[in-house]
Structure 1
């Protein structure tokens, strides 16, 4: 198996495959982790994915350190408590969600499990953690190498590297970013919308930054975010895309954008991290062409506003990883991979629409200002705040529904009588049959899939309405039942997702 791209998405796919015993080679252009500041948080869906693979303690440690750093910064600005409507946090178009208004008793949060409090983890930390896990699983990461071409055949893919070497795998996954060489070489259609804004995110030492208010701010010159860490700024300007996005970012450029957007004169004395981004928005029409598949930014690009990019890519990775592993091992037919595009493309489309809507609500013209006023009113209501935060959490994403309400939804991370949660029993990457009613018929039904499905039989620590469910390796429910389980429906779900039973 060959994966182009050793960022969080490519590494997550590699770890899922490695967990299943698949031989994996990751090809990464960079020789080390890119230090440029990118995503700064993980949503609930991503945190739960790491919990299922026993990586939550590592995320928690990094989150706690980030919270401490943020609190020190806010305290230095005279802000003692940013919770419940503070200047930073979850937002839509810079309209910050008042956490105190959110109804956490809804189904998306009722059984969120121990991952629910883990948020502030940077992309670099995610990548470093996955690098460690990939090495533990025997995944080979070839750094300083690029894909120069490939030949896809019926039984595999031969990949040509830039230095003249060739490697071969059964499948090729393109997780090589928004300018994906794999996507271009394979001929994936990539329609979308051209960029219209220039945004900059940077961390710098500055003189004069004390005159900048903390949090999201909208002015006649654009929108900017100050914090939640010392020296961190994001500016968004609506005069079109940058003339040269790849040109080195200078102190003078950063000083000028702060003056135009914030109206404050600063002197940049040192740049620690700086990047430009736009609202360029495109999505591949399919995520699979033969033996070539796309994941993450290679499949979809959009503005990073709202921090959805890495989370969307991790969702792609955990959906694709177990399916590709099953096909490689021969335990599932190849057409299982068709469900990857069917399930993940609509989620990607939603994220693209969400980011485009945020850009529209950030603009400074009269019509956008009126729209923003209406949105601000809505987000300041309990229903509006709950909706926005639940969408950002990733827990409203549904796949194909079934007869039971849980089918196609993220599985509830219910606490069991022994003090564990459902997510604690998924470290080996197998599917999980959860039997809360001590029903032998339910457990016997999975005998033929023992190598692919783990069984957990326990009473719940809290009352729930369902008695049993079958959870796929990516955390989504494939089958569920209340008091009287339909064993035939369970058998259908097992065959659909895990192939024919072993004899």
Structure 2
């Protein structure tokens, strides 16, 4: 084998997955078609849950000081994300190019073998390994691996070659996005409807403005190159009356509103993550974030299986957990598209939604959906409020000093929090000491209503989700440890 795992695509999803695999002790090759990073700004920041994912691995400081905001939207209707404790709409003003640079440096530092300029032409699952035919600077090559993962975007070659079903709706319209210098553009909020379309503009700093323009009736087109800036400027002038043709484009792109999702995230030894598994309207900036979270869910599981620590059945939980998240992503982005891309006929519904959002319960629901903080995996019987949810950052007091639940996840291992100083629990967990860290601690926050109130023990998976609690789970600790981390030594 050339590697235990080959990841195709060096975008955020591929880089996060590769880093997670290396933290799990697995050798990995990343194949990227482009010879160098594009440097395009694309997504501008990341959501609250993605910020937590980066913090769990100690990556967050690499972004430098970050600015967050509680003010977000759903389909252009303002939503206060601050109604969720500790929540925000996301980190602002971080271009995707910087996110990718931080993730690439992290992955390379972990020993990932990143090969740029290598395009995958075919993928074949041979039963006990996968064969990839590639073409790169040295010409055609044949690579083999135990597993392959497609993180190669909405037009994924891996998805097509491996025979994944990809049902859904094709794009019905085309929209433009451009970052521009040299223009005085009045800021326009997302979802501002104008006669014959929707426009948005916002300053990005350093003299650059971003615009988005959707002209009603513009048909979807399958472009192989970015649209000419003159075409974007003409559409902006038709909708706003402002001439920006004298501006200097930094980056120009066209996108649509498809809604497709594969029926299975795994076929044999080939898996998909990110846009390779689901494509949608980029409403609310969710695409990159859900992709990163796909990889955070898959990485530790595939590492455990590829290294022989856990059975292949663990990979079944990747589809079971992430497919519903992708399905809900398509649902909410379609709903948002209807709200801010439709004409006056949608105004009554916009007005009703604006009234409903004034209720905190509605705002909490929408904020949880867009931020990813409301994801709850079905982990079977149990009534603890944290079971299946992500573990919120908690300050903990241990014999060696203070720490946090987030810092304990930096090595990408399971964490069993012994909150009752229970020697029997620690003895039971001893068989998984090579995979799970047992930490005896006391929560710093013991106020009524705190997340760990009345909890004796919590098993946190490497991706930060709570897999077992005492009390509150229908199984014992040994059963939970065996299910998520394989048999004991």
User: If the length of structure 1 is used for normalisation, what is the TM-score?
Assistant: 0.88
The alpha-carbon deviation at position 119 of structure 1 amounts to 5.0
Distance 2:152 2:14 in 1: 8
Q: 2:462 aligns with which of 449, 473, 493?
A: 473
Question: What is the CA distance between 1:267 and its match in structure 2?
Answer: 2.7
Deviations 1:465-487 (A, max 9, x none): 122100111111110124xx879
Alpha-carbon offset, residue 120 of structure 1? 4.4
Q: Deviations over 1:439-495 (max 9, x none)?
A: 22222221100011011211111013122100111111110124xx87961111111
Q: Which of 51, 57, 67 is the aligned partner of 2:55?
A: 51
- CA-to-aligned-CA distance 1:239-261 (integer Å, 9 cap, x gap): 14343533442232121121233
Does structure 2 retain, via aligned residues, the 8 Å contact 1:284–1:299?
yes
Q: Secondary structure at the match of 2:132?
A: strand
Residues 188 and 202 of structure 2 are in contact (CA less than 8 Å); yes or no, is this contact kept in structure 1?
A: no
Tell me how far 1:393 sits from its aligned partner: 1.6
Report the counterpart of residue 70 of structure 1 in structure 2.
none
Structure 2 CA distance for partners of 1:255 and 1:167, relative to 1, 3 Å: same
What are structure 1's unaligned runs of at least 5 residues? 68-82
SS at 1:416 equivalent = strand
The alpha-carbon deviation at position 224 of structure 1 amounts to 1.6
Matched, 1:385 2:363: yes
What is the aligned partner in structure 1 of residue 422 from structure 2? 439
Q: Give matches, 1:254-293, under 5 Å.
A: 254-293=232-271
Which structure has more strand as a fraction of its residues? 2
Matches for 1:407-486 after TM superposition, within 5 Å = 407-417=387-397, 418-463=401-446, 464-465=452-453, 466-482=455-471
> SS at the partner of 1:457?
strand
1:79 matched to which residue of 2? none
Give distance in 1, aligned partners of 2:162 and 2:326. Answer: 20
| CA deviation after TM superposition for structure 1 residue 63, in Å | 2.2
Q: Is the 8 A contact 2:26 2:306 kept in 1?
A: yes
Q: Is 1:494 the counterpart of 2:481 in the alignment?
A: yes
Mapped partners of 2:61, 2:43: distance in 1: 20
Whole-angstrom CA distance in 1 between matches of 2:474 and 2:256? 51
| Equivalent residue in structure 2 for 1:227, among 196, 199, 202 | 202
Q: After superposition, give the CA deviation of every residue in 1:319-366 in whole Å (9 maximum; x if it has no partner).
A: 110110011111111111111111100000000011100111123434
2-side partners of 1:420 and 1:261: how far apart? 54
Alignment check: 8 A CA contact 1:449 1:501 kept: yes
- Where structure 2 has 5 or more consecutive residues not aligned to the other structure, the ranges are 447-451
Supply the distance in 2 between the matched residues of 1:260 and 1:384 (Cα, whole angstroms). 36
The answer for the alignment partner of 1:19 in structure 2 is 23
Q: Given that residues 125 and 269 in structure 2 are in contact (C-alpha distance below 8 angstroms), is that contact kept between their aligned partners in structure 1?
A: yes
| SS of equivalent to 1:170 | strand
* Maintained 8 Å contact 1:302/1:352: yes
Output one character per residue of 1:137-158: Cα deviation in whole Å (capped at 9) or x when no partner.
1110000011011221122112
Higher helix fraction (1 or 2): 1
Matched ranges for 1:73-472 at <5 A: 89-98=71-80, 102-105=82-85, 109=86, 118-162=91-135, 163-210=139-186, 213=188, 216-229=191-204, 230-401=208-379, 402-405=381-384, 406-417=386-397, 418-463=401-446, 464-465=452-453, 466-472=455-461
| SS of 2:352 mapped into structure 1 | helix
Distance 1:487 1:448, change over 3 A: farther
| Of 231-240 and 339-348, the range deviating more from structure 2 | 231-240
Distance 1:486 1:146, change over 3 A: closer
Residue in 1 that maps onto 2:13: 9
Contact 1:44 1:393 in 2 (8 A): yes
Q: Secondary structure at the match of 2:122?
A: strand
Q: Deviations over 1:375-425 (max 9, x none)?
A: 122223333322222222211111114313222111122111344210101
Superposed CA offset, 1:82-125 (max 9, x none)? x77xxxx42111222245xx4234xxx4xx7xx99845433212
**Aligned residue-pair number:** 468
Other structure's SS at 2:291 match = helix
2:176 and 2:252 in contact (8 A); partners too: yes
Separation in 1, partners of 2:264, 2:177: 31
More displaced 10-residue stretch of structure 1: 327-336 or 382-391: 382-391
Match of 1:42 among 46, 50, 54: 46
**In 2, Cα distance between the equivalents of 1:188 and 1:202?**
33
Match of 1:72 in 2: none
SS at match of 1:380: coil
User: 2-side partners of 1:150 and 1:424: how far apart?
Assistant: 38
- Cα distance in 2 between the residues matched to 1:310 and 1:248: 20
User: Helix, strand or coil for the counterpart of 1:232?
Assistant: strand
| 2:449 alignment partner in structure 1 | none
Other structure's SS at 1:358 match: helix
CA RMSD of aligned residues (A): 2.1
CA distance in 2, matches of 1:371, 1:305: 18
